[in-house]
Structure 1
Amino acid sequence: MKKLFNLLTLSLLLVACQEDGVTVQSNDSQASKGFDQSFIKKIEVNFDAGIQAKRGGKSNNDPVLDFMIQINAALVGQGIKLEKVEILGVDEAGRTVFFDDKGSKQIDFDWVPNDPRNNGFGAAVPYWIDNTQLGTSSGMSEQATFDAMVNSMNNWDAVACSGGLDIPFLFSSDFDIGLVQFFTGFGGSGLVITGAIAHAGILPAAFFETALGPGAGTGTLGVTFTFSYGTDIDGNGKGDTALSEIYINDGFNWQDAPNDVLFDVDNAIDFETVVLHEVGHGLSQDHFGTAFRDGGSGALHFSPAALMNAAYSVGRRDISGTDEAGYCSNWGVWPNN
């Protein structure tokens, strides 16, 4: 496994980001601690311990949960943990995995307005973009994928019911970001911005196989990883979200073509639709709807058909109907919730 940190590089990155007015910190709840060798060694030892725990029989035979166990072993004492993985699939491959699944008693996770741990963002939920992993192998330019990410954030921000929510753009990084890809050996770094959503990259199928298990490279379009502080400081029965990371699988025929591009026809997928779906997860929206196949054609259908279905069916950039209702039920009274 790659060494987890390069101290000199991280120090330079921290200085560069502080010049932009944003504190980019290690995966430690206190930015002022900076980066030191003892922290780096602790991360390495704890990650190895997570691997041993998996081998020692604590696995539930779920590769996603196994991976979460490893990451959270590495993050012990660092103020955040990986709580939720939401996978947008091809056909029925989409699903949600919780680190600590309590069945019907499972609490969900949400952002806390004016959370003092969130870099002073107040009632805003900002985002940043990895500028080093844009563009697709199927021909979409870096500018096109960047624009799709910004459009997706603006689309959710424009929903009328959430007037109290601001979703500002922080900056695009000229260095590789992504805590999850950092743990898989696909680049990234241990740097995070708590209180923000990270568009962490368009990565090869092998990354998804590593993080999500066999078959994920061909079955996963995008995934959102939600980290929490492991607390509920506002007492709303939901865990406090610390940050979210979004990844898109480069192993598909991505196009800028909403509404009229069907996966079942030519394997083309509207890139912005998938990013919009993942941003919905970053903004605390869950999967919903039931999938079923047509008895004659075998085509996959959803009831109701929505952007936040767990699998892709068609380009869909409108936030309406059940998507808007779910969003408004969560953000309609923000920040007074």
Structure 2
Amino acid sequence: MKHIAYMLLVAVSVSLIIAGCESQVTDTSSEPEGERALALKGSADNSLEIGPEVSLQDIMASMNEMMAAEGFDFRVYKAEYITAGESNEAGAEILAKDLGNKQLGSDFVPNDVRRGWSNPGFAGDTDDITFAIDQTGDATPFSPGVSGAEATAAIQSAMSTWDNRTCSDLALNRAQDFGIDIGVIAFLNGLSGSPFVFADIQHAGFRDINFAGGVLGVAFTFVFTESGVPTDIDGNGKNDVAFREIYYDPSWLWTVGGFPGVDIETIALHEAGHGLSQAHFGNIFRKKGEIVVNPKAVMNAVYLGGEQRSLLGTDNGGHCSNWGEWPNN
């Protein structure tokens, strides 16, 4: 039955966006916009319980340890990360050991019957990409004044922005979540969630994982494996994506419009780009003490504050290049 929850034997890669410390835009206040954004870390409602910070490295390590101990046929594939501007640490990759060709990218395979939650192989199935949004308590940020319905609407709007690209016949359809806590990564690390898959792109909400440092959102990529090795059944030189899962850090002050706060739709639009196989784009550097991105794009790896709810040139170009021939690519 379509959209039934599944457990998979999969491997994992990670893309994430981290808050910048300064803005390239001149501000009338005494603090650059990005510095005020970082100050919002820890500004969530203190009356609610937020778990202790967990580093991405610790999450990846704990997953590998668990998988090895249990003998599961899936492994962490890689983690891509970027650091906050003032950390003086350049972004890099964390690669899992002995897991296939580490030079390969990853993408969805058209008409892949293994993705039973999205394409069960029925005649006439259009093989659209599906997404699900957690509707448990995780749907509501700890931030005061933002309801679960408002946060969900912001994420839905971000998905619609990608869906409205006219260069592709790809359709993004929302799948049922059955009222179950979404979050395979969280489940594997004992941080709530569940072992079920509901859609190709899963938005796991705002409460499961409190990431250390300046992390705002993380998009994990799961790839199909055989005997622990990622598969490439269509021979396109890319690992076959099973599904992707997105988390929003709970300790930030999230907002659905206006400053102060981190704009949910802006970050959701970025993370959904990862969900649709886009990587980070653009150069990030300092100029006269400020962080500058060039060219500006939704898929820049830093958030400099404010709202960016429309796709820009490189965002559209990357999406159309990847999805323009779907499902015949």
| TM bin (shorter chain) | 0.7 to 0.9
Cα 1:64–1:22 change in 2 (3 A) is closer
Please tell me whether the aligned partners of residues 130 and 175 of structure 1 are also in contact (alpha carbons under 8 angstroms).
yes
Residue 135 of structure 1 and its aligned partner are, at CA, apart by 1.6
Aligned to 1:184: 189
Cα 1:181–1:65 change in 2 (3 A) is closer
CA displacement, residues 203-223 of structure 1 (integer Å, 9 cap, x when unaligned): 26xx244xxxxxx2x410000
Aligned to 1:251: 251
Residue 67 of structure 1 and its aligned partner are, at CA, apart by 4.1
Aligned positions of 1:1-337 closer than 5 A = 21-28=2-9, 62-63=57-58, 65-70=60-65, 72-73=67-68, 76-78=71-73, 80-87=74-81, 90-91=84-85, 96-99=93-96, 106-119=103-116, 121=119, 122-132=126-136, 133-139=138-144, 140-163=146-169, 165-193=170-198, 196-203=200-207, 207-209=209-211, 216=212, 218-229=213-224, 230-257=230-257, 261=259, 266=260, 268-295=261-288, 298-314=289-305, 315-337=307-329
Identical amino acids, percent of aligned pairs: 38
Q: Name the SS of the counterpart of 1:202 in structure 2.
A: coil
Please tell me whether the aligned partners of residues 282 and 300 of structure 2 are also in contact (alpha carbons under 8 angstroms).
yes
- Aligned counterparts of 2:283 and 2:98: Cα–Cα separation in 1: 21
Q: Which amino acid aligns with 1:276?
A: L
Q: Which amino acid aligns with 1:330?
A: N
CA displacement, residues 121-153 of structure 1 (integer Å, 9 cap, x when unaligned): 252110111111112222211111111111111
Q: Which segments of 5 or more consecutive residues in structure 1 lack a partner in the other structure?
A: 1-17, 30-60, 210-215
Give the root-mean-square deviation of aligned CA atoms: 2.8
Q: Name the SS of the counterpart of 1:137 in structure 2.
A: coil
Please tell me whether the aligned partners of residues 82 and 226 of structure 1 are also in contact (alpha carbons under 8 angstroms).
no
Q: Which amino acid aligns with 2:155?
A: M
Structure 1 runs (4+) deviating above 6 angstroms are none
Please tell me whether the aligned partners of residues 110 and 240 of structure 1 are also in contact (alpha carbons under 8 angstroms).
yes
Q: Name the SS of the counterpart of 1:25 in structure 2.
A: coil
- Aligned counterparts of 1:148 and 1:75: Cα–Cα separation in 2: 38
Q: How many residues align?
A: 266
Cα 1:176–1:287 change in 2 (3 A) is same
Q: Which segments of 5 or more consecutive residues in structure 2 lack a partner in the other structure?
A: 11-55, 120-125, 225-229
- Aligned counterparts of 1:187 and 1:273: Cα–Cα separation in 2: 26
Residue 300 of structure 1 and its aligned partner are, at CA, apart by 1.4
Q: Which amino acid aligns with 2:317?
A: A
TM-score (norm 1): 0.71
CA displacement, residues 150-193 of structure 1 (integer Å, 9 cap, x when unaligned): 11111111111122x11100123412121110122221111224
Aligned to 2:44: none
Bigger RCO of structures 1 and 2 (CA < 8 A, at least 6 apart): 2
Q: Which amino acid aligns with 1:107?
A: L
